[in-house]
Amino acid sequence: MAAQIASTRSLSVGAGSAGIVATALLLLGLGAMIFAPRVVGEYGTEIGFRALIYLTLAEAWNLLAGYGGLVSLGSSSFVGIGAYILMGMLNAGGFGIVTALTASGLGAAALAIMVSPAVFRLRGLYFTVGTLALGEALRLFMINVSYFGGATGIFLKSNPPPTEVLYVYAVALAGIATLVMEIYTGTRFSILLRSVRDDEDAASQVGVRAFRVKLLAFAVASLLMGAAGGLQALKLGAIEPYGMFGLQWSIDTLSIVIIGGLGVRFGPIVGTIFVIALAEALADYPELHLAMTGVILILVIRFAPKGLCGLGQDVCRLLIGRWDRPGMPRAGGALP
């Protein structure tokens, strides 16, 4: 028993040290990215801004679908709500950008809390369809209510900040999303969430409050999506229901996470880099880009269910296994 306790303590210390190192590296990376516009220029900053927005959305969706099993197609609902809240507050005057972005996230989280009793009654494919219907319902509502600008949308009365300033906000938002994922995947909550994902009924029987666990994940993910939508609206300077509540937000986010690795910690990061790079490489061929993305998704789902990150991990394990076979040279170069 004493040996087991000592082993557990050593593992905890090791995990804590690894978490500190990962956090330090993350902060260093974010610090370096803030100065990227001076190196990559205006076009590179535009690409970086788009990548950071998608990274935030992908981190949030990975928390929902990858760790919680809540496969949602309602990302556009929270992106759109966040966008409209920010535009309304800035046009009303008296609010700063940080305050408006915070309100965008909180408004999206409030929407998630309000609809959760209804959508959580649905499971599996029915939950997915329910979240898709939510996005379509909000889009139609915004189109038909003139107070929100109707189909024309809303225009920002003042000039939006320069792209370099918006890029810094995007770096901060992506950093917050990544830190939130570090916290959630490194604590007891991750175990509770995955237990609900694997078997909600069994988890409930052993004392896990499944509704509260799912609600917390849903609210946090929606908050991040709403803030990302608000920042995107600030970048555009004009929004309308067809764009901000469009299904493309949900499809793009889903594609990034599946390609990078569903339920894999660094899946959203790898997926974002891959998808943005592919989009830039095929920018002059939109039809080919769409077809290539579909083919890649099919191949990944069929042959690499854990995405590119999972595939890389499997290759590393295979190479390490071959290296450790009897008769193979070891680190010191000597044979066993």
Domain positions in the chain are 21-248
Local confidence band at 24 (pLDDT 50, 70, 90 cut-offs): low
User: What pLDDT is attached to residue 22?
Assistant: 59
Q: Does residue 34 register a pLDDT over 90?
A: no
> In sequence order, what are the residues at sequence separation of 6 or more whose Cβ sits closer than 8 angstroms to the Cβ of residue 207?
none
Tell me the average pLDDT across 44-53. Answer: 94
Would you say residue 292 has pLDDT above 60? yes
- Residue 189 confidence class, pLDDT cut points 50, 70, 90: confident
pLDDT more than 70, % of the chain? 88
**What integer is the mean pLDDT of 235-243?**
94
Q: Mean pLDDT in the chain?
A: 86
More confident position, 21 or 32: 32
Q: What pLDDT is recorded for position 3? A: 42
**How big is the chain, counted in residues?**
336
What's the CA gap between 209 and 219, in Å, rounded? 16
- Residue 30, pLDDT score: 65
Is 294 or 4 the better-scoring residue by pLDDT?
Answer: 294
- Looking at the predicted structure, is the pLDDT value of residue 52 above 70? yes
Could you count the other beta carbons within 10 Å of the beta carbon of residue 123? 13
116: helix, coil or strand?
helix
Over residues 44-68, mean pLDDT: 94
For position 23, what pLDDT does the model report? 53
Say whether pLDDT at 39 is over 80.
Answer: yes
307 pLDDT band (50/70/90 cuts)? very high
Give the pLDDT score at 325. Answer: 59
Q: Is residue 250's pLDDT more than 90? A: yes
3-state secondary structure of 81: helix
- 160 φ, ψ to 5°? -70, 155
Count of other CB atoms within 10 angstroms of residue 172: 17
Cα separation, 284 vs 195, whole angstroms: 45
Tell me the mean pLDDT in the region 305-329: 77
Quote the pLDDT of residue 143. 94
Residue 11 has pLDDT above 60, yes or no: no
Q: Is the pLDDT of residue 253 over 90?
A: yes
108-167 pLDDT, tens digit each: 999 999 999 999 999 889 999 999 999 999 999 999 999 999 999 999 998 899 999 999
Q: Would you call 154 helix, strand, or coil by DSSP?
A: strand
pLDDT at 226: 97
**Residue 46 binned pLDDT confidence (cut-offs 50, 70, 90):** very high
Give the Cα separation of 85 and 163 in Å (integer): 21
Residue 219 and residue 112 in contact, taking contact as beta carbons nearer than 8 Å:
yes
Q: How far apart are CA 223 and CA 85, in angstroms?
A: 12
pLDDT(4) > 70: no
What's residue 302's pLDDT?
92
Is the pLDDT higher at 136 or at 21? 136
Average pLDDT, stretch 278-290? 92
